[in-house]
Amino acid sequence: MPTLRTWQVVAGSAVAGLALAASVVVAAGPWDSGQRTAERERAASRSHRGGADHGEGRVPQAAPSAPGVLAAVSGAGPRQAGAPTALADALRPLLADPALGDVRAASVVDAATGAVLYEEKPREPMTPASTVKIATAAAALAALGPEHRIATTVVPGAGAGRIVLVGGGDPSLSAKKKNPAGPGGSLVVLAADTAQALKATGTETVTLAYDDSLWTGPARHPIGRNPNIAPMSALMADEGRPDDSTSGPVDRTDTPAQDAAAAFAALLRERGITVTGAPARAKAPAGAQALATTWSTPVAGLVERMLTTSDNDIAEALARQTAVAAGKPADFEGGEKAVAEKLASLGLDLTGTRFADGSGLNRADKVSSGLLTALLAKAAEPGRPELRPVLTGLPVAGFNGTLRARNAGSSPAAGLLRAKTGTLSGVNSLAGTVVDPSGRLLAFAFLTANTPGPEGAEKALDKLAAAVATTSPGGS
């Protein structure tokens, strides 16, 4: 039986009020665990040629991007000028809910025109939690492009019979025969290609080293050891997870690069290459030509996976890739500067902002609700197709990712709403897009602080989002 896609579920269960929602989700492309089907099947499939360089001497081509998201953005389709008073009347009492703490900020804008429909403290910088991933995603896409792939390579070492496994910072790299998280770089394929290249030169015994020097600075996130994130490493397989989990908290390895190298050594042995001793850290010789290469899923796919499941490891890797693209050190400070500079180049007002990390785990992050809606509106601009994965990666209310169980079932926002969640102790946020009853694509962001508990805050945020989804310009 074919896999049932989210858009099919929406279309199949639609009532009159969800008819528009079905077309919205279809326009964004079919869904499969946060990845567009085209990218899963064409960009990095597990076929013979998927995910690796098999000697063709060129970077594999990424699958075409999904069609332009949300046709209503272009100006086609119904659009009423409508006074925003009805929306304000609907949101004000909901925003006053004590479950939202004692500091609240809100912004709702028409994504096509930029018109402000509702706002409260829209320029006040607040701790955004994981909604900062919207900023990380936009910066990485703007800096690298949606089709960019990250390479993990094997190069000759300094001396005969020596090889070096070089990490390029691919957060999708896996040591499993089939990566449970989806397509990405494969140590299995890389080992097969390396073994083939070695045997072609008559080499069947090697000493293996590994180079994880691309990332600099502290290996630990400022929050310290935490099951929500692995140590920072440019060479890591399966996000340092000891099981087949692909998201959520789990204890991680303390030695991700060493573990990835050990797994690679075992894969080489399975393919007839004798690896002497245990892999040791070493710098790859400058200018060394690759014996074999495996490539990550395209940045567009990484962004979608990050946003759908709120993947902290991908977020930090993308912040560092943005730093590398800008010629800055690949550490927290370099990522912060590079993300800010790239977003500023898009014409966004960054007053008071700080991107202390890429994931939102750091409470030092500061973002305004107005910046979040500006980012979402920027991603919807027809002239910015490279930013479209910021929208297509957002979870769909009641269907997938971190919104699977929120605004679900009989909620009037089920299937209509796409948004990024944010949760830290005392901090809850929600930012995303929705098509209102008049056909306008709206971008919204709600930030809160000092909330008494996550459950009540999430329910209150969901009511706010549902009100944005269901309030027509005229208030009917």
Q: Which residues are catalytic?
A: 130, 133, 310
Alpha-carbon span 337 to 453, nearest angstrom: 33
- Residue 210 pairs in a beta bridge with 165, 281
Rg (CA), the chain: 23
Burial class (CB within 10 angstroms; exposed 0-12, middle 13-18, buried 19+) of 224: exposed
CB of 146 closer than 8 Å to CB of 62: yes
Backbone dihedral region of 223: left (phi > 0), alpha (psi from -120 to 50 degrees) or beta?
alpha
Alpha-carbon span 130 to 427, nearest angstrom: 10
Q: What is the dihedral of CA 128, 133, 138, 139, to 10 degrees?
A: 90
Alpha-carbon span 265 to 274, nearest angstrom: 9
Residue type at 21? A
Cα–Cα distances in angstroms (integers) from residue 271 to residues 47, 172, 359, in the given order: 18, 23, 38
CB of 290 closer than 8 Å to CB of 194: no
Residue type at 190? L
Cα–Cα distances in angstroms (integers) from residue 335 to residues 126, 141, 143, 167, 299, in the given order: 19, 14, 12, 18, 16
Cα–Cα distances in angstroms (integers) from residue 46 to residues 61, 126, 169, 267, 295, in the given order: 15, 42, 20, 17, 12
Closest residue by Cα to residue 105 from 432, 357, 372, 352: 372
